[in-house]
Amino acid sequence: MDTLSVNKSHGGTLHVVRHASRETGTDMTFSVFLPPQADGGAKCPVIWYLSGLTCTHANVTEKGEYRAACAELGLIFVAPDTSPRGPDVPDDDAYDFGQGAGFYVDAMQAPYAANYRMGSYIRDELPDIVASAFPIDRERQGIMGHSMGGHGALTLALANPGRYRSVSAFAPIAAPSQVPWGTKALGRYLGPDRAAWRRHDAVALIEDGARLPELLVDQGEADAFLEEQLRPDLLRAACADAGIPLTLRMQPGYDHSYYFISTFMADHLRWHAARLFN
């Protein structure tokens, strides 16, 4: 690993790190915030934050306003990139596919299968890499994300029961197999067999029997993508049918941006902390 920067913040330290990934075959960059409670190597609960379309680790790192709450609560916060990157990595001219749009799946179709392995990267490789250098408590993990990253957080948690003690999302793509962003990405990464898509669709996973102890979701009512791409109504219905306790907060006037995310970030971190320290 190469440390790109270290900055003091709210009594803790923010690290930006690059490493060579075995899953993606590329260099990957992520940020880690260590709260002051981690001084001396004391293990702390960890929150994995998955970002949305077009983002890198830097979006939430610079605009998410999470460090004060993490420092107060004693949470380590890890923000990875959203896809492999580089001149030899297959890409697309559109913003919603290719680099910056990995959708947290392991691609099965050429030419994407060699590099676009973000599911295995987030689930398997990244936790090992982070644990090798930072004092995360892998018995106390939470996961959260925004938009495409909300989709990733929900599906990874649903597909790996018991891995994460707490799960939340901001404006997640709740049913990607039923919306344009998702059908494009899942079709091109995974192929035409829609049965394979269901393992990467939160609503479908719940319909097929996957469960979470509880879930927190915030959604802006002024979000331009609400009705066509995000569909929290489908998530609400699936959770109700499955008996999953869902707190879905529709926030008047808020859009899809980091102005929205940063407003409710501390609420989410306190919600996670209440479950990770229980």
Using alpha carbons only, what angle is made at residue 129 by residues 161 and 109, rounded to the nearest 5 degrees? Answer: 65
Distance CA 154, CA 159 (A): 9
Q: Looking at the annotation, which residues are catalytic? A: 147, 223, 256
For 139, counting Cβ atoms within 10 Å of its Cβ (0-12 exposed, 13-18 middle, 19+ buried), the class is exposed
**Is there a cis peptide before residue 192, judged by omega within 30 degrees of 0?**
no
DSSP of 187-198: HHHH-S-HHHHG
